Amino acid sequence: MKNKGFKHLMLLSALTLVLGSAFAQKKKRTTAEQVGRKGEFYISWGYNKEWYTPSNIHIHQPSLGNDYKFINVYASDHPGWNEGITNRAISIPQYNYRIGYFFKDNWGVEINFDHTKYIVATEQLLHAKGTMDGKQVDAFYDNTKPYGTASQPLTYFLNNGANFLLFNLVHRKHLTSFKTDWFDASLLLKGGVGMVVPHVENTIFGKSNDPHFQVGGMDVGFEAALRMTFAKYVYLEYCNKLVYANYWGLKVAQGTARQDFGCYEMILNLGVSVPLRK
């Protein structure tokens, strides 16, 4: 759970972007038909897998005399789709959707939402530093107990979603140079800013919050996607994505929490592209 592969996965994302860009520069479309459609609307649905950087969780509970941090906390996702999709609602696993519009063949805008789950790992010692009950503390706490155990210091879920919402600018580079009606490959480079809409559920040293959704901060993301379009309208899209999310004002019992972390995502989408004008 130490996210040992996180740096390697970030390198994979960067490699996808660099190689795709280099390949795209070698491919030139020469006819008006090959340039592509303008006024193109698209929508997709897919599922994702995440890896998170360690994060400090800052707990502020004035009425309890608490103002401290859990330092370098490790967390994981909960894909759900690896446990079966046909036996549950499609919105239960970690899903994502995209709604976009190309106002030119190579430029577009997009609403980009990822339903991602963030669960603090039990397999770790938690280092807490700051003020507890009005007293200075710098100590380690055993968080290796099963979830829900009374002696567990921290149960912390964004399990109904860490939920990244981004408004992206999209640039498209066609990778295929031949004239065809049945297949096209393209590289999409996306970047944007937005907000996080987490579902916050936690129990901290035996005190639980009221689980709820809230607007809980801001995020920024960059994405490289390889899109393969079949018969002009249906496409399959593989994405590598980096997100930085900053959460604040998250509700805990008698107080709030804040944290920030980086996230690497791998995403697979199935979508439909519809030209709105020639």
Q: Which domain holds residue 195?
A: 6-53+78-83+94-122+154-275
Predicted pLDDT at 83: 75
Domain tally, the chain: 1
Is 59 a domain residue?
no
Predicted pLDDT at 15: 47
Quick: pLDDT tens for 187-238. 999 999 999 999 999 999 999 999 999 999 999 999 999 999 998 899 999 9
Q: Which of 111, 264, 95, 100 is nearest to 186 (CA)?
A: 100
Q: Which residue shows structure tokens 């070698």?
A: 26
Is 139 a domain residue?
no
How far does the chain reach from its first CA to its final CA, in angstroms? 50
Is 73 a domain residue?
no
Is 60 a domain residue?
no
Quick: pLDDT tens for 173-201. 999 877 677 899 999 999 999 999 999 99
CATH of the domain at 218: 2.40.160.20
Burial 123-159 (b: 16+ CB within 10 A, else e): ebebebebbbeeeeeeeebebeeeeeeeebbbbbbbb
- 224 beta partners: 189, 240
